[in-house]
Amino acid sequence: MIQTIKIGTLKWHHILDPSDEDLQFLTDNFHFHPLDIEDCRSVNQRPKIDIYDDYYFLILHFPNYDRWNRFLKTKEVKIFWGDDYIITIGKSHWVIGTLFNSASDKETDPYEILQAGTSDALLYIILERLMQETQSLISKLGIEVELINRDLFNKKAEKTIERISLTRRNIILLNTIFKPQLRLFHKFESGEIEGYAENMEEYWGNILDYYQKMWDMIEDYQELVEGLSKTFDSMQTNRSNEIMKVLTLVSSILLPLTFIASLYGMNVGLPYQNHPFSFWFVMISMVVIACGMIFYFKRRNWM
């Protein structure tokens, strides 16, 4: 279903979950390249911007949490950008859908630049809203990293491992989303993407600043998570070594005592086995051996 907002001579068409009829409408009325229409039919396209004489076609990726707010997933946005129109295409109600609905209900006048009624201005508003939403999401991820740092010394190892693994997985997804698009947004500021309005360089530079800041945040969080993961692994290894050390010392102390007990449990004649105090001789010997070994281990700083 195609929804339309008219702002002066500018038209904003928003298509949610496009059908074949919607894409045929675009083909008949805008004469877009067939490959661009085909890209709108499929999902999981690589981020790109195609430059034509009379329009631009953008495919952008942005992260979003799933319904349980645990795993990040990729949201794909397709935008046709012409002189007097913007066409946004998506698979679900998301940031762009919310912005479109609020603008169509006239509940908000997002920015004064919108009053100019240019497609460049509208595209800037859409991109900035996407950047703000993404920055909020990345900040939430930063809070999770800080919580992992606080709980690093928690004895619940399984929970900490799960949180580190989940955060690392989300950061890897952010890397796969952001890295291919960094060069794309550089094209706006460099002037390779000219657009249709004048004096937009500062606005495109602001979009690039948003993106570069978020990219730096992702890299910082990635280094922090890697450091926390290594620290946690070292702590778990040290804890395991301490446990094995204690068990080894206990086994070493019990080994000669077990030998003596086994020896006197044999059905053969042994010295003093018929003596009335033989049991206490054996017990005292075992206590002396155990205390001697403990004293020796402590003197060597083994325990």
Give the pLDDT of residue 261.
78
7 or 141, which is more confident: 141
Q: What is the mean pLDDT of residues 177-199?
A: 84
Give the pLDDT of residue 78.
92
57 or 232, which is more confident: 57
DSSP class per residue in 34-53: HHHHHHHHSSSPPPEEEE-S
Is 80 exceeded by the pLDDT of residue 82?
yes
- What is the average pLDDT value for the chain, to the nearest integer? 83
What residues does 296 pair with on adjacent strands? Answer: none
What residues does 213 pair with on adjacent strands? Answer: none
Residues 6+ apart with CB under 8 A from 229: 164, 168
